[in-house]
Structure 1
Amino acid sequence: PDEAQNWLSAQSAAAGDTWFSTAGDEWKVDAEGAGSERVAAFWQGLLDGKQTLATERWGEGFTAALNDGSLIGHVGAAWEAGFLLDSLDGTPAEGQWRVAQLPDFGAGAMSGPDGGSGVSVMKGCEYPAEAMEFNDWFNTQVDDLASQGLVVAAKGDVETPEKMLRQFGGQDVLAELSTATESLNPDFPYAPGFSTLSKMNETAAAAVAGTASVADIFTTAQDTAVSSLKDLGLPVAE
């Protein structure tokens, strides 16, 4: 539940949805589209059947389930591959995991954005041109960034680090992740105030507890996004 905001929005994107768009001078919000409905139904079925681990991604329960073998799969961000399996080093489970593409939720083979990071130049920077030059240099150090398990937003061939090769049984992980990047939904921009959608995490916790549904999480996203844009003084199409 602690990753619901990025985790479920990414899967909705992979199912072909576009949460934010514009019509004239107005924002349009649609976090409860057909893709979200399919994703919600999928996870609701697994929750109801007690076929999925319901614990916080960044809590001890996740690592414990990974280590004892009860967790056999994980939908996660590409950048997690650099450290996800560290606790399995030296155990019989080392080298048993593989990276795979998301299933087709009905819109063809696609992936969605799940977190990540970027670099920018802040207003008031004394040397903006030099700062941008550094940013360009930093983001194009493909080999160095890839050595840390990072999926680089730059052109160039990347080599899967030895650690990843060992942990994923010799799989060319970065090549597989590059395939996912190539199939990224191109129509899933974020809107101002997207961070307020962290309220989805609260509804996700309720869904795990059985007092809400997975579909309610997307309703929370819809309502929160609309109110957040309005709070920022931005017009929203009803």
Structure 2
Amino acid sequence: MFRRRSRRAIRIVPLLMAALLLASCAVPGTGEDRPVTLTYWSWTSGSQELADRFNATHDHIRVTFEKVPAGTAGGYSKMFNAVKAGKAPDVVAVEYPQLPGFVTQQVLQPLDPYGVTDLGDQYPDWAWRQVALGGQVYGLPMNIGPTVMFYRTDLFAEYGLTPPTTWEEFRTTAETVAAEHPGVTLTNFGTNDAALLAGLAWQAGARWFDSGSGHWQVDATDEAGARFAGYWESLVDDGLVTARPTFAEQHVTQLQQGTSLTVLAAPWTAANIQRFAPDLAGRWGAAPLPAWPEGPASGNYGGSSLAVPRGADHPEEAMEFIRWVSTSPDAVEAVAQVNTSYPANTTLTDHWGTAIEAANPYVAGMDLPAAAGAAARTVNPAWEWGPDMTEGFARLVDEATAWIGRPEGIRTALARWQDATVDQLRQRGFTVPE
């Protein structure tokens, strides 16, 4: 009996030792050393690539990417509902126009406790102002959209044109194109994109919103706004540019057939041009927007920040992921082939230029890094977004679609939008002076 018990004990001891060894080895995904899992919601191209690269280079945090609809197409509603239901993801992408709405409705938590303020000097002042609201920082800029002009280098050369450097030259060039090449126009003025409309107004010196007095002031028809609107109305009325939805079927046909020679947009738009006109590789260049008499300037068109919703389970780890996305050259390289967005972080711009040209033959030779860099340095920092641009942009698209193409159509659309915006803000309890 004694020997049988001894043999049994001998068999059991190695099993116990093996179990103890396994428990002490920090096997990934088990035990106390299991990596923290973050949920990341976005719709922007390259998001999955960012998560994959981060996971490949970090052991203690794992990021799970979940694609949501574009923000204004339902993604933002999904985020709001998740926070209200106590099921917030850890990281969300929020565009700059919509960030104030997230803050006023208490959807996001400030990032100041997690060291974000130490990063402020790595971003253009105007970009940092987009995320620093009410004395606290609610997001870290990921990319920005300084507005530039893409143009057909081959057709410009064939027609003897040079990229216009002023808006006066732009009109003269448009007149030359219309007179000498019937059926061809210099550009299309998009009627379906409120963010681009805002970017062009921003570049002209307009200020749609101002909260500096402690109350919201709304003015889309000030002197600069009227100048911007009147200029484009004259081009549309005189048939020097088309006015139709950007990248809708007719516009895509124009680009493919070379009957629209430029696209006024942001660096990220290069990926859209590639998507809709893949056969035109090597035929596009990029230049800064034409200037108003005051000198070179740009507005911002698009771009996103990364933020942490209230109720997120792992804010410290979320901040580590956000910091990596916004400051790491590795993150730039991860998305270079699929996303041409310009990084907000000024320490990454040279690396970005090299990376996108190496990863994407369509962009190579376009001079996009130089044009985007020049534009980013001249964005007017005075621009401010209102407290509910998700609804505001939807309303502006409705007005633009209804009015652009009619006499004084852009000015009418902006005036109607301004009045409706003031009414809506007052209904929500905001004080808006007459």
TM exceeds 0.5?
yes
* 1:42-84 deviations in Å (ceiling 9; x for gaps): 1111111112122211411111110011111111122112231
1:151 to 342, 346, 349: 342
Query: Following TM superposition, by how much is the alpha carbon of 1:169 offset from its aligned partner in structure 2, in angstroms?
Result: 6.6
1:161 to 348, 356, 364: 356
Indicate how the Cα distance of structure 1 residues 187 and 223 shifts in structure 2: closer, same or farther if over 3 A, else same.
same
Q: Helix, strand or coil for the counterpart of 2:233? A: helix
Distance 1:216 1:85 in 2: 34
Q: Helix, strand or coil for the counterpart of 1:12? A: helix
Unaligned runs of 5+ in 1: none
The letter of the residue matching 1:42 is Y
2:245 matched residue in structure 1:
56
Count of matched residue pairs: 235
Q: Helix, strand or coil for the counterpart of 2:296? A: coil
What RMSD over aligned residues (CA atoms) do the two structures have, in Å? 2.2
Distance 1:67 1:163 in 2: 25
* 1:175-196 deviations in Å (ceiling 9; x for gaps): 3112111111101111101222
Query: Following TM superposition, by how much is the alpha carbon of 1:38 offset from its aligned partner in structure 2, in angstroms?
Result: 1.3
Q: Helix, strand or coil for the counterpart of 1:74? A: strand
Q: Higher relative contact order at CA 8 Å, sep ≥6: structure 1 or structure 2?
A: 1
Q: Helix, strand or coil for the counterpart of 1:115? A: strand
1:118 matched residue in structure 2:
305
How high is the TM-score relative to the length of structure 1?
Answer: 0.88
Distance 1:89 1:163 in 2: 17
Query: Following TM superposition, by how much is the alpha carbon of 1:134 offset from its aligned partner in structure 2, in angstroms?
Result: 0.8
Is 2:263 the partner of 1:74? yes
Indicate how the Cα distance of structure 1 residues 12 and 209 shifts in structure 2: closer, same or farther if over 3 A, else same.
closer
Is 2:425 the partner of 1:229? yes
Aligned pairs for 1:63-102 within 5 A:
63-90=252-279, 93-102=280-289
Query: Following TM superposition, by how much is the alpha carbon of 1:125 offset from its aligned partner in structure 2, in angstroms?
Result: 0.3
Is 2:372 the partner of 1:183? no
Unaligned runs of 5+ in 2: 1-190
* 1:78-123 deviations in Å (ceiling 9; x for gaps): 2112231344334xx4322211111222332111121222211001
Give identity over the alignment, percent.
Answer: 27
| Higher strand fraction (1 or 2) | 2
How high is the TM-score relative to the length of structure 2?
Answer: 0.50
Indicate how the Cα distance of structure 1 residues 39 and 220 shifts in structure 2: closer, same or farther if over 3 A, else same.
same
Is 2:197 the partner of 1:2? no
Q: Stretches of 4+ moved more than 6 A in 1?
A: none
Q: Helix, strand or coil for the counterpart of 2:196? A: helix
Q: Helix, strand or coil for the counterpart of 1:106? A: coil
1:18–1:187 CA contact under 8 A, matched in 2: yes
Indicate how the Cα distance of structure 1 residues 42 and 111 shifts in structure 2: closer, same or farther if over 3 A, else same.
same
Distance 1:139 1:13 in 2: 25
Q: Which moved more, 1:140-149 or 1:23-32?
A: 140-149
